[in-house]
Every structure is written in C-alpha cells, then in structure tokens.
Amino acid sequence: MAGALAGRTVLVTGAAGFLGTTLHPRLLAEGARVVSADNLSFARPDRAGGPEIRPVDIRDPKAVEALYAESRPDLVLHLAAVANPRTCKKDFPLAFDVNVGGTQHLLRYAPPGARFFFMSSAAVYGEPLYLPLDEGHPRRGKDPYTVTKIIGEDLCQNYVENYQRSVVVARNFNTFGAGQTGDYIVPQLIRQALTEGKIELWDPRTVRDLTYVDNTVDAIVRLAASDRTGIFNIGSGRGVTVGELAQTVSRKLGDVPIVDLKKPALGSPLLISNNQRLKELGWSERVGFAEGVDRTIAWMRGILAAA
C-alpha cells in the first residue's frame, strides 16, 4: 500500500535536530523523497546514520532561495529554530533572526503551490485561563522564545490570507524521547539519576503534557499529509507533574533520591493540551508515557556508555 506521502518531495528544515532526525525514517517509510537541511548549530550529537544534511543557514535568504531552486519541494516541514527557551533569552537577536527571519525567508521563497508546515509551541498559550488548552485559547506567553513563535505564526497567517498559501501550524507541547539532549526536563532528570545518583527538581508541582517523540512524528506526518489548514495542538491531553515524572524515573532506576530545590520553574506552571482536532485526523498516542520513559532511559544509557 502506498504511503501517506508517496510521490511527494518533502523539504525538512532543522533536519539534524531531535524531531528532524526521528522524523526522517518515517518520511521515507511513507514514500516521500526527502531533502534535509540544517546549519548544524544545535544538531543532535549522535546523528551518525541519520539523514544526509544540506548545510543551509535559514538566516541567509539567498541560501534559502537556492535550496528551493535545487529541491523543488511540494511540502515544506519547517522545524529549524533556536528551540531552547534559555538560549533564546540569552541571545534574543539570534533567536529572532532564526525563528522569525528564517521563517519569513522560508515562507517568502517557497514554491507558491507547496504546502507549508510550521512548528510552533504550546508556550504561546502562557499561563492558562482554562484547561485543557484548545487552539482558541489566547496567546499569553511573553518570554523571548514564545515571542518568536507568536510572530512566526503570524507570518504564516499573512501568507495564508494575502498570498493564498496552504499552511498548517502545529503547537507542540512537550515532546521527549531518544535523541533529546540538553537541559530539557526528561533527559536532564534521567542523566542526573544515572550519573549522579540523585534527581534535583525546581518545582515538582509544574505540570507538563509529555508525549513520546514517535507520537509527535506521527502527528507531524498526519498534519502534513492532510489538506487541513489552521492551528493544531500536538500533545497527549494528559498532564504529568514534574514530581510524578521524577518518581517514575526514580522507581525505574532503583529508587534514586529526589531533591526539591524549591526554585520557580521556567514558563507556564500548567500546560495540558486539548488534542481533539488532532484526534479527528486519526491520531492517538501509540507509545504511552511509561513506555516512553523506558525507551529514553535505554537510549541515555547507550549515549553515556559511548561517551
């Protein structure tokens, strides 16, 4: 049976990152011809065997134009970003140039008939007025990363309303899993438990909507392959407190002690998605939370053993 993207030429930006590298085999399995671009500034360290990367910096409009001329995609999956909120706060000019300027270049030079997928973030919701957060909830987020994502969404809307483009915007909640490094909550807790024998938390009451990366990849493919436009949440629909996450990791690793540092967490204290719109596309969470944590621990053990 032909895959959902059979015969399509798909350009992926941010292809060397966490989501991009996990997405690649799935795109190939769906029959797509894939062109992968990244400037490798925040690339996944263990990406050997991953996609062959075209070295393109999306801040450079000429490079983006040349990439389109060479690849002629009919679907653009725009994932490239300065994706870490702390990095965005430290270097807002960089975050703006990549997340806003780069998005504008990709929208501006895209072949007019190409479908465009923009990866935004649930951070745009900010402090919730109600839960779960549906796509109509006001955008109240104010930190630098969120500002760049809000402007990116508005650029997309401009190309829909004024230039007849087919654009879908995904607001991703918290994806975790094999391949995610850095100071994101799940890899940080697991690495600490494995290397230091303890888990330090900022605020155990913070609630996140955590879903395993394969579920997010499935959502991206369904959204890309459909002809639906507008905004779609990607999330499990279930809130997990950071304290519950820490207990899960601790139990799986032999009751590692948990230390509450009593510091305020970054970002909204509460994020839970209403994923009804995504479910209408046949999406469901195939890899559950506990299974996802097991897979992430196994991956992290491998990374640490190879280091």
For ligand NAD, the binding residues (CB under 6 A) are: 13-14, 16-20, 38-43, 56-59, 79-83, 98, 102, 119, 121, 172, 174-175
Cα distances from 265 to residues 110, 180, 237, in angstroms, run 38, 20, 21
Which residue is nearest to ligand NAD, using beta carbons?
Answer: 17
132 token code pair? 């779960």
Distance between CA atoms of residues 187 and 283, nearest Å: 25
Task: Tell me how far, at minimum, the Cβ of 176 lies from ligand NAD, in Å.
Answer: 7
The DSSP code for 132 is S
Torsional sign, CA 59, 60, 62, 66: negative
Distance CA 247, CA 241 (A): 10
Give the nearest distance from C-beta 63 to ligand NAD in angstroms: 9
Nearest-5° Cα angle at 63, 97 to 114: 90
CB of 59 to ligand NAD, least distance (A): 5
Nearer to ligand NAD (CB atom), residue 121 or residue 206: 121
Quick one: 19 or 107, whose CB is closer to ligand NAD? 19
Give min distance, CB of 148 to ligand NAD, in A.
9
Tell me the C-alpha distance between 226 and 210, whole Å. Answer: 24
Indicate the residue among 142 and 251 with the shorter CB distance to ligand NAD. 142
**What is the closest distance, in whole angstroms, from the C-beta atom of residue 197 to ligand NAD in the complex?**
27
Nearer to ligand NAD, 20 or 292 (CB): 20
Instruction: State which residue, 209 or 256, has the beta carbon closest to ligand NAD.
Output: 209
